[in-house]
Structures are given as C-alpha cells and as structure tokens.
Structure 1
Amino acid sequence: MKNIVLLSLVVGSLAGCAGMGGLDQAPRATMSTPVAVGATENSLLQWPSAHWWEIYQDPRLNSLIDRALEQSPDLRLARVRLEQAAAIAEHAGAQRWPKVNADVSAVRKRYSQEYDAGAPLASNYGSTFTLGAEVQYTFDFWGGQRAVLRAALGETAARNAEVQAARLMLTSRVVGAWFELAHLLSMRELARESLDVRHQTLRIVERRVLAGLDTEVEHQQAQGDLPAMERDILRLNEQIALQRHGLSALAGLPINTLSDVEPRMMSVADSNLPASVPAELIGHRPDVVAARWRVEAASQNVKAAKADFYPNISLRAFAGFARQSLSIGLSDWLNAGSRNYGIGPAMTLPIFDAGKLRARYKGRAAELDAAIETYNQTLLVAVRDVADQFISLEALVRQSSAQEQTLAARQTAFDLARRQYEAGLTDYLTVLNAQNVLLRERQQQLDLKTRGLLLNAELNRALGGGFDAADTTNSLAWKL
C-alpha cells in the first residue's frame, strides 16, 4: 500500500508540474516602499492617540463621538463585513481537519429475486440495518489548503483594518462637522455684534441729521444697512439648522437630537511638525494596512491556484455493522459477522482540463498584480496626504500672524473714522467703508481659526488616528 501511494505521488507530481507551462515565471508587479514615494526614515513625530479628539477638551464632542461609534450604520456595516470574512476564514481552517461522519439506517422492504438477493431473502420482506462511522482526510502535500487559509486570514485582517479606517473616517468627519457648526455660530455672533454697531452708527447719523450736519441720504444709507445685516443673520440661522441636521445624521442619531447644541471655537496649540513624512506611516494608516493585507491574501490565492496543478491525495476509512435478514434482533446484527470496515486512498490527477487550471492561475496572478498596484497607489496617496497637511499647517501659522496685524490696523482705522465722523471731520462713507473692511477682517480671522481646527483634525486623520498595525496582526488567530 505504501509503495502504491508513493508511486502515485511521483507520477502525479510529474504530470502536475508539466501542466504549469512556465506560468509562474511571468513578470509580476512589485510593491513600492515608503522611501520610494517620498517618506524618510527616522523622522521624529508624535503619533496621535486612539482617542485623539480628546485633545480638544470638549466633553460634548467626546460624548457625541461615543454615540456615533455606537450608532453609525457605516461603522456597523464595516463590522458585519469583518464578521463575514472571519467566518470564511473559520471555514477555510476547518477544511484542513479530518471529517468524521456517523451513519445509522434501517430499511424494511421486499427483496427482489432478480435484483436484490437470493434465498432466503428473495421475494420476502426483510430488514436492512447499518451502523457505522466514516473518516475522510485530504492530505495537503502542496500547501493548497494552507494557502487558502492564509488568504482568508489575510482578507480578515484587511477587513479588520477597514473597520478601523471607517472608525477613523467617522470620527474625523464628526470633528470636522462639529467645528464647522462652531464656525457658523461664531459667524452669527459676529453678525449680531455688527448689527449692534450699525444701530449705534444709525443713532449717530440721526443726531447729525437733526443738527443739520448730515442729509437724509446718509440717514437712509445707515438705515438700509440694518435689514442687510438681519438678512445675513437669517441666512446663518438656516445654515446652522442644516449643519445640526447633517451632524445628527452623520452620527446616526435622530435628526433633531442636536437642535440646541452650540459648540465653541477654541485654539489648538501649534505642534512641531517634522520636515518630512515618516516611513513608519505604513503601520499607522489603516487604509495602507488593509491594502497590504490584500496583497498578502492575493499572494496566497496564487499559491492555492498553483497547488491545484498537483495531484490531490485523500483517504477514506470506515467501520461499522451491517446486516440483512428477514427479522433481526439487536444481538443478531451486532455480532462479529455483521462487522464491516475498510480503507480507501484516492488520488485526483489533473491531466486535461481544457485550460481551466491555467486560466484560474492567470486570474489569481492578475488579482495579485491589481492588489499590489492598489497598495502602491494607497501608499502614495497616504504620504501625499500627510505632506499636504504639513504644508497647510505651516502656511496657516504665517497667515494667522499676518491676519492679527491686519485686524488690529483695521480696528484702529474704524475707531478713528467714527470719532472723526462724530467730530464732523469726515463723512459717513468713510465710516461705512472702515466698518465693512473691519467686518470682513473679523470674518477672515474666524475662517483662519476654523481652518486651523479642521487642519489639526485632518492631520490626526492623515496620521492614522492612533491606529497601530500590530494590533490588527496580533488579533488574528493564525491557525496554521
């Protein structure tokens, strides 16, 4: 028996190898390195924490993100896909173990003289009882089953990283929407303050008109500024309501849950940014990690497709009791004469399949090339993403400094224009122009402050939001 199995393996190996026809020597895509796309080694950078949004020290924001992580349909969908991949991996792992089946049957029938049996069963009613167990096992000589398991585990790891990517995207979008709402609320407050200033200016104009120092033209112009500012406030009220609805939907909450929330603007301490993107980014970006795991899964699928070219050896063993008789008692059919058992090795040999195996291998190889190129693109986008945040943050620091000086000058110019107008040294148009310029600069200051908050959140997102690839790898049970 051993010689027969060994001979079958040798002959099958030769036949299987001959069917490859040089397919595994075809040129394949290669994976890029972080350095090749612009990252550098040994770049000092403080990576975000897993709860990076807590740096803003806003309990209401923390509470909203906690609820969003529980309620978001997008995140739940990502988790369901992870469970699906884990089940597939579990199924692939179970395929590598022996299968044991039990069989118990009892049949009462009339035996045919021409077909079923001879005397004394022929033409009589009798019973057939079987009781047995069967063990089946397929030998994984060429590593095909192991490769399938590795591919399934790689896909599970990729789905796990995608859950973290969905979590990161959700938290960053919630933080961004929160700061956008804070910006709109600040803009409305600024508009209300400007409306108060317009009322004060109107009273000054009215006094000057009564004194004969101004005409009705200045009076009507000052009055016309009031409904324009009120219109702007109403427009901001609409945008605030819409932003609250969008934030509620983003967090997976009822639409009016945040109808009274009023986040505040805040300042974020400037961080010391490195001059270049660190190469360690590949282990901190969940999208890059997911793409890398898919390369691993595709590589294992290629190995599994290659293993199909080789013979498949399986073994079947069975043992039990079987008996046919006109009437059978328990003591009759469990005796030694009723015992049956056997062993049956089997081998499947791929000799001719009209190119099916070759086509499958080519398809798996193409999938591997696609996974590698997807990884290369994902890595390139990740490095650029972080580099863009560095540039924007550095530019924002200089813009904010210049804006502070500009705003101080505009405030001084407005104060002087209004005092001169009250003293009759200038006309109302000068005051109006100075006031409009000051309003624009204050709005610009709010825009820059909001952009600083958004860029800070985007930097935390671009750096992976506290994700660590080691956590994904360690969470897998590599049942090899």
Structure 2
Amino acid sequence: MKLSWILIFAIALSGCASMRDVQNPQSTLQSPGSFGAVDTGWNQPSSHWWERYHDSDLNALIDRALSQSPDIRLAQARVSQAAAVADQASAERAPTVEGNARATRKRYAEQYDVDAPLAGHYGSTYALGAEARYTFDFWGRQRAALNIALGETAARQAEAQDAKILLSSQIAESWFELSRLLERKKLAEDALKLRTRTLRIVQSRVKAGLDTEVERWQAEGDLPATERDIAELDERISLQRNTLAALAGLPMNALADAVPHVEPTRDSLLPTSIPAELIGQRADVVAARWRVQAATQGVEVAQTNFYPSINLRAFAGVVRQGLSVGLSDWLDAGSRTYSVEPAISLPIFDAGRLHARLKEQVSDLDAAVETYNQVLLEAVRDVANQMISLDALEPQLQAQERALSARRTAFDLAKRQYASGLTNYLTVLNAQNALLQARKQQANLRSRAMVLDAELNRALGGGFHTANATMHFTGKSS
C-alpha cells in the first residue's frame, strides 16, 4: 500500500480517539500593569551593581562566590541537565541509521529447516547491512516536545541567573551586617572608655565627699556590662564571618580578619512608580514565563497523541547462506536484499488514557499561568516594599542626625555640670546612655540604608537581561 493511501486511511480513523469534553485552559496571563506597575523609563541596575559601594574586598568576595559557590554550581548543573534533554529531543526529529552484521552457524533439520544441500548438514548464514528509521512529524509532536525541552532549558538558565543575583545580594547584605557589627563593637569600646573616664570623675568626687558610694558602685557596674556587650559582639562578628564564608563557598576561617570598607551610597532619586519594564525582565519572572510557554507546548504534545503515528523503516544489505560462504559469494547480485516497511499506529480504544493525559496537561498549563501570575505579583510587591522603605528612611536618617546632635550636647553639658557639682550622677548616667543609644541607632539606620539599596537593586532585576541566556525559547521548530 502506498504511503499516501496509508496517510489518508489514518486521517479517516483518527476520530476514533476523541478530545471532546476537555476544557480549554481557564487561566489568563497577567501583565505588570495588572498589579500597578507602569512604564517609567527607569534605568536598569548594572549587572555588577555591588561595585558602586567601592569596596574591593566585597567585589572580590562576590566574584569568587559567583564561580565557586555550590548553589551556583548546582544551578549550572541543572541547566546542563535540561540542555542534554533538549539535545535528545532534537535528535528524535532526525532519522537514525544503524549498521548491523549477523552470523549464524547451525545444523539444519533434514525435514524441517531447508531443502538440500543444507538439509541434515551444518551450514552458515551471514547478513550485513544498514537499517534506517524515521518517524514523520505530521502533527508537530516532536517539534512540540523539543520546544518543551528548550523552554525548560531557558527557564533553568534564568533561574541560574536569579541564583547569582540572589547570592550577590545575600553576600552584600551580610557584608553590610558585618560592617554594622564592627561599628557596634567600636561604639561599645568607645562607651567603655567613656564610662571609665566617668568612673574616675565619680571616684574623685567620692574622695572629696561630694558623692556617696552608691554613685561609685553604680558607675563601676557599667563597666562589666559594657565588657559583656563587647564579648557578645565578638561572638556575633565571628558568626557573621562564617556566614559570609559559607555563602561564598570558602573555608570557615577564610574571612577571620575580614573588615568591610564600604562607602555609603544611594541614588538621589527613586522611581516615582513601579517600573513595569524592569519587573518583566526579572529573572524569576522570565523563568516563570518560559515555563508557561513550555506548558503550552505540553498541551500540544498531548493533543497529537490522538493522531496516528507513521514510521518508516528501510533495510539494505547482503545475505548469504550455504554449507560454506566465500568472498566471491558476496559479489553475487543475488545476495542483495532490500526492504521498506511503512508502519502506522493510531489510538482506537484506550479506556480514556489519552483523554486524561490531555486534561492533565491543560491543568498543568493553568497551574503554570497562575504560578507566573503569583511570581509577577510578588515581584511587584517586592519592588514596592523597597521603594516605600527607602523613601521612609531618608527622614529617619535626618531626624536621627538631629537627635544625635542633641544627645551629644546634653551629655557634654551634664558632664560639665556634674564636675562643677551642679547636678547629680543620675543626670550624667541618663545623658550618657541616651547618647550611646543614639549612636547605636544611627549605625543601625546607616546599615539599613545600605541593605535597602542592595535589595532595591535585586528587586529591580539585578542587571539581568534575557539576552544573557545562551538559549531562547521561541515556540518555533528549529
């Protein structure tokens, strides 16, 4: 039967397995604008945004982490896995050719296998040839399967970039925290010196009869409390250095002496609105969108399973059989053999398996769409939160500067008055504690400003471009 007649016959019977009663996907892809983002023309962060803090040690640490971190290597391994699957899917679209050789030595039955002269004797059979196979992709099944694999590869590439962006952000924030803890320790050491000087003043006044032992013991009690704070900060600093080493994939003692030298920086302006163009380019959003496209191809594969599968198998070679086979026998035209086998398979009755599989793929597509919408919503919220916090931080910093100036003036005045006998020690103690607390709060706010700046750069995509990926999913056959 000619191949064209087989095709016509297959199409005629393809209605035996029906796709009826399978609902179309119900979910709809949202856009950044659906959640309040607008086109702003805001510049995308640099892909090396952490260099804006002008700390060479931080730059070197992040660069090393991006190449050495186990998390990054794991993400890259997943990309390689997906790419290998895509290569396999691409190879399925091409014909296969196999060479084969076979030799058989046997005794032929006198009244069963063959006629004379082989009957009742030992003989040999030799076959040498090549076989080609090809599956016709009339319905686009192989093309869609390839696009699924390409979509997964592209999604994993975006996720690998997202892992790098997240890791660089985590290291930068941990570096800022180490800087804050070191500054806190310096403040505690300054406080220890300050309280030591205050104790000397109290001791002098006690000797002069101007103060009692109560004030002296109270002043002495401040010293061990401050020493305790310093010891606690030493512990937290060591733990923070270990955290940084683990993030970068370094030995635990590799950063034992690390000291940040970060220059506080911040853009003078913030976006007035959530930038839709940057939200859509975030690596996590791009990965979710590629998975939606891959899931769409999954529905197409499930649909093509309802159609016939048409394969072609061809063989060409030489076969010889006899009591003995010599080299000259292979030159005989009678040894040549050829075969062509078109084959068709089509679903007629499968107890609803194909129908259930299609429903599953449609549900998977709905789930992928809703996952994308959720990722997009979280991305918009992420950027909105960073913008709100950064916008609210500026007046806090300004107010804290004024508060610190007032606390410093109050403490200086209290010290002079106490030395002159115009006030009691409690006034000095209260002013001193208020000053130390104000300095600590200022350090916390400065560190928070750095963290929020890093978080905004991450939330705005961290400099990720879809062009950074080495493979793009297009939904078209290649």
Where does residue 334 of structure 1 map in the other structure?
A: 331
Distance 1:460 1:417 in 2: 45
SS of the equivalent of 1:352 reads: coil
Q: Of the candidates 400, 406, 410, which is equivalent to residue 409 of structure 1?
A: 406
Give the C-alpha shift of residue 154 in structure 1: 0.2
Map 1:117-128; keep pairs closer than 5 Å.
117-128=114-125
Residue 448 (str. 1) matches residue 411 (str. 2): no
Give the C-alpha shift of residue 420 in structure 1: 0.6
Where does residue 31 of structure 1 map in the other structure?
A: 29
Preserved contact between residue 319 and residue 342 of structure 1 (Cα < 8 Å): yes
Distance 1:448 1:266 in 2: 15
Map 1:136-215; keep pairs closer than 5 Å.
136-215=133-212
SS of the equivalent of 1:126 reads: strand
Distance 1:142 1:476 in 2: 20
My pick for the range that moved more, 199-208 or 92-101, is: 199-208
Tell me the TM-score normalised to structure 1 length: 0.96
Preserved contact between residue 19 and residue 303 of structure 2 (Cα < 8 Å): no
Where does residue 220 of structure 1 map in the other structure?
A: 217
Residue 285 (str. 1) matches residue 258 (str. 2): no
Unaligned ranges ≥5, structure 1:
none
Distance 1:479 1:221 in 2: 81
Residues 240-296 of structure 1 deviation map (CA, whole Å, 9 limit, x = unaligned): 111111111111111111011111353113331112111112442111111001111
Residues 288-346 of structure 1 deviation map (CA, whole Å, 9 limit, x = unaligned): 11100111111101101101111111111111100101001111133100000021111
Residue 50 (str. 1) matches residue 47 (str. 2): yes
Q: Of the candidates 6, 18, 22, which is equivalent to residue 4 of structure 2?
A: 6
Where does residue 355 of structure 1 map in the other structure?
A: 352
Where does residue 67 of structure 2 map in the other structure?
A: 70
Distance 1:21 1:217 in 2: 91
My pick for the range that moved more, 209-218 or 382-391, is: 209-218
SS of the equivalent of 1:145 reads: helix
Q: Of the candidates 452, 468, 473, which is equivalent to residue 465 of structure 2?
A: 468
Give the C-alpha shift of residue 90 in structure 1: 0.2
Aligned-residue RMSD, C-alpha: 1.5
Residue 263 (str. 1) matches residue 256 (str. 2): no
Preserved contact between residue 183 and residue 265 of structure 1 (Cα < 8 Å): no
Distance 1:110 1:252 in 2: 68
Preserved contact between residue 53 and residue 262 of structure 2 (Cα < 8 Å): no
Distance 2:133 2:61 in 1: 54
Map 1:362-441; keep pairs closer than 5 Å.
362-441=359-438
Which amino acid in structure 2 is aligned with residue 19 of structure 1?
Answer: A
SS of the equivalent of 1:264 reads: coil
Preserved contact between residue 283 and residue 469 of structure 1 (Cα < 8 Å): no
Q: Of the candidates 316, 327, 341, which is equivalent to residue 319 of structure 1?
A: 316
Where does residue 19 of structure 1 map in the other structure?
A: 17
Residue 242 (str. 1) matches residue 247 (str. 2): no
Q: Of the candidates 86, 90, 93, which is equivalent to residue 93 of structure 1?
A: 90
Q: 1:92 to 1:289 in 2, by over 3 A?
A: same
Which amino acid in structure 2 is aligned with residue 307 of structure 1?
Answer: T
Distance 1:26 1:66 in 2: 47
Tell me the TM-score normalised to structure 2 length: 0.97
Distance 1:451 1:353 in 2: 62
Give the C-alpha shift of residue 20 in structure 1: 2.8
Distance 1:467 1:20 in 2: 45
Distance 2:425 2:264 in 1: 37
Map 1:301-320; keep pairs closer than 5 Å.
301-320=298-317
Preserved contact between residue 16 and residue 348 of structure 2 (Cα < 8 Å): no
Which amino acid in structure 2 is aligned with residue 158 of structure 1?
Answer: A
Unaligned ranges ≥5, structure 2:
none
Distance 2:267 2:335 in 1: 86
Where does residue 57 of structure 2 map in the other structure?
A: 60
Give the C-alpha shift of residue 52 in structure 1: 1.1
Distance 2:191 2:302 in 1: 72
Between the two proteins, the alignment pairs up a number of residues equal to 477
Distance 2:19 2:92 in 1: 29
Give the C-alpha shift of residue 475 in structure 1: 5.7
Give the C-alpha shift of residue 18 in structure 1: 5.0
Preserved contact between residue 283 and residue 468 of structure 1 (Cα < 8 Å): no
SS of the equivalent of 2:37 reads: coil
Q: 1:207 to 1:11 in 2, by over 3 A?
A: same
Distance 1:369 1:235 in 2: 52
Preserved contact between residue 81 and residue 159 of structure 1 (Cα < 8 Å): yes
